Amino acid sequence: MSTKIRYTVVGAGHGGKAMAAHLALMGFSTTLYNRTPENIAAIQKRGGIELEGYEGGPHGFGQLERVTSQLGEALEGADVIMVVVPSTAHVDVAKAAAPHLRDGQIVVLHPGRTCGAIEFVKALHDQGCRADVTVAEAETLIYASRSEGPAQSRIFRIKEAVPIAALPATRTDRVLEALAPAYPQFIDGISVLHTGLNNMGAIFHPALTILNAARIESTGGDFQFYIDGVTPSVARVLEVLDRERVTVAAALGIRAQTAQEWLKMAYDASGADLYEAIHNQTGYYGINAPSTLNHRYIFEDVPMSLVPIAALGQHYGVSVRGIDSIIRLACIINRTDYWRRGRTLDKLGIEGLSVSEVTRYVNEGVRD
Amino acid sequence: MSTKIRYTVVGAGHGGKAMAAHLALMGFSTTLYNRTPENIAAIQKRGGIELEGYEGGPHGFGQLERVTSQLGEALEGADVIMVVVPSTAHVDVAKAAAPHLRDGQIVVLHPGRTCGAIEFVKALHDQGCRADVTVAEAETLIYASRSEGPAQSRIFRIKEAVPIAALPATRTDRVLEALAPAYPQFIDGISVLHTGLNNMGAIFHPALTILNAARIESTGGDFQFYIDGVTPSVARVLEVLDRERVTVAAALGIRAQTAQEWLKMAYDASGADLYEAIHNQTGYYGINAPSTLNHRYIFEDVPMSLVPIAALGQHYGVSVRGIDSIIRLACIINRTDYWRRGRTLDKLGIEGLSVSEVTRYVNEGVRD
């Protein structure tokens, strides 16, 4: 039964290649799409991806059904479309996919960052797509993986529990059911506001990069990002940003996880404060800083994660001055207006909604 | 004639000791005051300060007239009172001095940071001081010096031109005339808004500290502050803050110096951008970063320099979002509300004034 689900993976980066190979190895009919033909030429030639894994993990040659740069072809006949691209590309994927989507198809963003599914649905709608498509988002990418060659991938870890939510949430069960044969790890994420507001990268990535700006740029990132880069004062900034995020969630009636709760849950790392908890996460040792400030920790996490959190905060009366400070410095450093590029409420199509209206929208899909 | 001016130096730190010794060596009757008796006990015992200097600079034993922790005694008979304390203490000095000040006395803040003289005059007024005192501020401290022992001081450099302005500016001539026999280096600073808005430390100190936060805290400041600590992106932040400062000045009808103009003037250092100009200032090589984030670059420069610049910007319609971001992060890092501690317009007593009213106030001393 499980093999009846036909998958299309959109994006052949680190995550997309791992997912496509893994799905194929699990016996699912899998299509891999990438916009740039050169990026998948070697995979096309071999007909699949060679997957290496950790001890006991999936490995072997994942034979793909199709490998294509034609999106229409890629989406045709797919039951589930796994979008594994940087969140800055979600809108472009939605616009390009809109004419090709059909009733009953499921689209899952891996991950949505913050408000990814809302933005995707809005883009489909704006493009005139009237197909009955279910859009969902994962809270984080299920794989830790790396592309190790043009047609090679290595999976280091598969996360054990990843929340997922559909827009509207009434359709989350349908998505979980479709994914379950391949991924029993996906669990009910309640709503896309929950998955989006539990975005820990939003808190960790940009602030750590900014508060280590000079060192990153003068050393090319040659220091341990979470160890040398997180000092007691820096952790204090993270705590304030985290509190702002959790408070934004609370204003929307949502109990988001704190960074400390998340470190405890995900890594069993704890401590008296965030500084201690981070330093007690052994997995952080040895991870170096980004080599440049022109990095996805800024150009993706600021517009796609911090901006929507700040925008929600401003709209629903929560002080987000710490988050706003980081956004502002990021704008200056990379000479980019991340507010203009980012997921503001008008771009998400939820600019006029009250808390009960936005709640009803994400839960039931109803817009008054 | 020159020796007729009687000086009192308030503050026996690095700057105050150098100034007192130097004035005494120039033949002026000089009193040294410090609030804490222990800090001047050795000077009191010896009756003066041993000054060492650079080649050709002032040196020798500066015999002091009085060394005291009694402010009333210190101020009695003084013609010019040189206040050489951190600007965070200006209000306290004003409050303590208020009952003792007499008609005709001159008070000079070394330096005022931003709006120091305005704050000082307000504090005198609030304390009911009705003496006809002239308050002035220097744009920067005239000495580069270090206290090298309890009764020793070393001067490394005496700046060649230091702008000074009285409040109101109509009295600047009187101050320059009184100081000229000792300090021909003081020049007309136009008004206290000019001296306050040409405060370069406001731009350099807090932002560089924040954007090097993790490195300062993890290395104890063991890197070159202006060289390793100023990378192209960090310099971009400084440029934006500097532009905000200069724009605030412009909104008040003042042409402030840019940081690049200042580097050119003060050090003959130039370059295509601020990054280059800073790296072409040979004097910056070898200067290490602060060893901690609990440093005057934050706890003095944020409330006494950045806050008044930002407050003026907000009141007169200038975007100061970059400056505000740095203030906010400083508040978080040192768990202190620097807006509450800082020189806001209400604390300065100029909260309701239009541009022409504040201009008239600093130029002529007239409040409508």
| pLDDT for position B368 | 63
Question: Average model confidence (pLDDT) for chain A?
Answer: 96
The alpha-carbon radius of gyration of chain B (Å, integer) is 20
Place A4 in a pLDDT band, splitting at 50, 70 and 90: confident
Residue of B241, B295, B328 best to disrupt the A interface, most CBs of A under 10 A: B328
The residue of chain B nearest to residue A230, with distances taken between CA atoms, is B214
DSSP conformation class of A288: B
pLDDT value at B127 more than 90: yes
Residue contact B236–A328, C-beta within 8 A: no
Place B137 in a pLDDT band, splitting at 50, 70 and 90: very high
Q: Tell me how crowded residue B123 is: count the other CB atoms within 10 A of its CB.
A: 23
CA distance B293 to chain A (A): 8
Our CA angle for B5, B25, B186, nearest 5°, is 55
Place A295 in a pLDDT band, splitting at 50, 70 and 90: very high
| pLDDT for position B268 | 94
* pLDDT tens-digit map of B15-52: 999 999 999 999 999 999 999 999 999 999 999 999 99
Place B147 in a pLDDT band, splitting at 50, 70 and 90: very high
Residue type at A145 in one-letter notation: S
* pLDDT tens-digit map of B231-252: 999 999 999 999 999 999 999 9
| pLDDT for position B86 | 97
Q: What is the DSSP string of B208-256?
A: HHHTTHHHHHHHTS-SBTTTTS--HHHHHHHHHHHHHHHHHHHHTT--P
Report the C-alpha gap between B77 and B5 in whole angstroms. 10
**Active-site annotation of A, residues:** 205, 301
Give the residue-averaged pLDDT of B255-263.
97
Give the residue-averaged pLDDT of B45-62.
95
Pick A213's closest partner by Cβ from B211, B322, B333: B211
The residue of chain B nearest to residue A223, with distances taken between CA atoms, is B215
The CA–CA distances, whole Å, from A40 to A15, A292, B350 equal: 14, 27, 66
| pLDDT for position A2 | 46
Place B361 in a pLDDT band, splitting at 50, 70 and 90: very high
| pLDDT for position A368 | 63
Q: Give the count of Cβ contacts less than 8 A between chain A and B.
A: 97
pLDDT value at B2 more than 60: no
Residue contact B213–A231, C-beta within 8 A: yes
Q: Please report residues of A whose CB lies closer than 8 A to that of B211.
A: 210-211, 213-214, 329
Give the residue-averaged pLDDT of B161-177.
97
Residue of B209, B215, B236, B323 best to disrupt the A interface, most CBs of A under 10 A: B215
The residue of chain A nearest to residue B334, with distances taken between CA atoms, is A233
**Active-site annotation of B, residues:** 205, 301
pLDDT value at A66 more than 90: yes
ipTM comes to 0.86
| pLDDT for position B1 | 39
| pLDDT for position B349 | 96
CA distance A237 to chain B (A): 6
Task: Give percent of chain A with pLDDT exceeding 90.
Answer: 96
* pLDDT tens-digit map of A115-130: 999 999 999 999 999 9
Beta bridge partners of B147: B153
Classify B153 as helix, strand or coil.
Answer: strand
Classify A9 as helix, strand or coil.
Answer: strand
Pick A234's closest partner by Cβ from B214, B234, B237: B214
* pLDDT tens-digit map of B305-346: 999 999 999 999 999 999 999 999 999 999 999 999 999 999
pLDDT value at A1 more than 50: no
Strands (E), chain A: 6-10, 29-33, 48-53, 60-63, 66-68, 80-83, 106-109, 134-138, 143-149, 152-158, 162-167, 186-188
Taken as a whole, chain B contains a residue count of: 368
Query: Which residues are within 8 A (CB) of B154 and not within 5 positions of it... i.e. 6 or more apart?
Result: B18, B51, B52, B53, B145, B146, B148
The alpha-carbon radius of gyration of chain A (Å, integer) is 20
Pick B217's closest partner by Cβ from A208, A233, A293: A233
CB A78 within 8 A of CB A107: no
* pLDDT tens-digit map of B269-301: 999 999 999 999 999 999 999 999 999 999 999
| pLDDT for position A312 | 98
Give the residue-averaged pLDDT of B49-66.
95
Residue type at A187 in one-letter notation: I
